[in-house]
Each structure stands twice: as structure tokens, then as C-alpha cells.
Amino acid sequence: MLRSDLDSAEQDNQQLQTQVDQAAQAGATAADQAAALYSDVAQQLDATSEALTTAEQDVAEAKKVGRAAAAAATAATAAAVRARKAAEEADADLAEANEEAEQATGEADRAQAEVDQAEAKTGKAEAEADEAHAERDKAVADAEVAKSRAAIAGECAKAYVSALALLLEGDRARDQVAAVRDRFRAITADCKTALSGS
């Protein structure tokens, strides 16, 4: 009976040992699997951490680029505003310059019109002066002619008086009439010739 129990106990012990060995082997396998899984998870975590770091760096760089782009956009907007303001000022200056040019052109036209009017008046005055000079010269010439004719007429009158004096010479005036008549004719012819040539 005791032997049988001992055998049974030994058999149970062997079975238990077998189960322990199997459990140990299973535990080792599980440990190996766990170790492999941990290693794989660790590698994945390392890769994820590296990717996260890279992503964070990319985000930081993107933010930096974004800030630079925003600053550039702000500067461009300010430059555009300044350019628009400068263009508006240039347009205003151009409009003012055009207005001044038109005003200057109008003043120049008016000045030219006044010059033309003055030149016309000057031309008219010169023509009137020339006409006055011509009239004066004609008057002077007429006066000279009149003076010459007056002198000739005076000489003719003196000749007539001298011829009439012949009637008083001698005792008989009738004897001198023919001579006086001839003298008058000669004087008249001379006077007509002289007056027509003066």
C-alpha cells in the first residue's frame, strides 16, 4: 500500500515536474516573445519619437517660414500702400502741372494776341505816319511850287508894271501902245511858260 502510494506520488511528482518544465519552457518562450515585442515596440517608439521630433522641427520651420511670409506680406502691403499714395500724389502733381501748363498756354495765347494787336497797331501807326510824311512832303512840295509860282507871278507883275511904264515915256502914249502890247504878249508867254514848268 505504501509502495503504491509512493509510486503514485512519484508519478504525480514527475507529472508536476513535467508541467513545471513545460511551464518553464512556455515562460521562456513567452519571455522571448515579450522581449521581442518590447524590442519591436521600442524600435517603433524610437522611430515614432524621431518622426515626432522631425515633425516638430518641420512645424517650427513652417511657423518660421509662415512668420517670414507674414512679415513679407505686411511689408509688401505697406509698400503697396506707399506706392499707391505716391501714385496718387504723382497724379495730383501731374494734374496740377497740366492745369498750370494750360494756364500758361492761355496766358501765352493772350500775350501773343496782345503782341499781334500791338504789331497791328504799330503797322497802322507806321502806315499813318508814312501817309502823314507823304502828305507833309507833298505839302512842302506844293508850298515850294506855290512859292515858286508866287515868285514868278511877282516877276511877271513887275514886268507888266515895267511895260506899262513905257506908256508914260515920250510925248504921245498912243505911239507906245503897240510896243506895250507886244511887250505884254511876250511877258504873258514867258509867264505861262514859267508857271507851267514850276
The per-residue DSSP string of 91-160 comes to HHHHHHHHHHHHHHHHHHHHHHHHHHHHHHHHHHHHHHHHHHHHHHHHHHHHHHHHHHHHHHHHHHHHHH
- pLDDT for the residue numbered 87: 83
Residue 180 burial by Cβ neighbours in a 10 Å radius (0-12, 13-18, 19+)? middle
Handedness of CA 147, 151, 157, 161 (dihedral sign): positive
* 163, 187 Cβ separation under 8 angstroms: yes
pLDDT tens, residue order, the chain (198 aa): 444 555 565 676 577 667 656 755 755 565 566 556 656 655 665 656 676 677 678 777 878 877 877 787 788 788 888 988 888 988 888 999 899 999 999 999 999 999 999 999 999 999 999 999 999 999 999 889 889 888 988 898 998 888 887 777 655 666 677 788 888 888 888 888 888 866
Q: What is the DSSP letter of 38?
A: H
Closest alpha carbon to 190 in 163, 155, 141, 151 = 155
Sequence ranges of the domains in the chain:
2-197
- The pLDDT assigned to 73 comes to 76
Side chain identity at residue 121, one-letter code = K
| pTM, two decimal places | 0.39
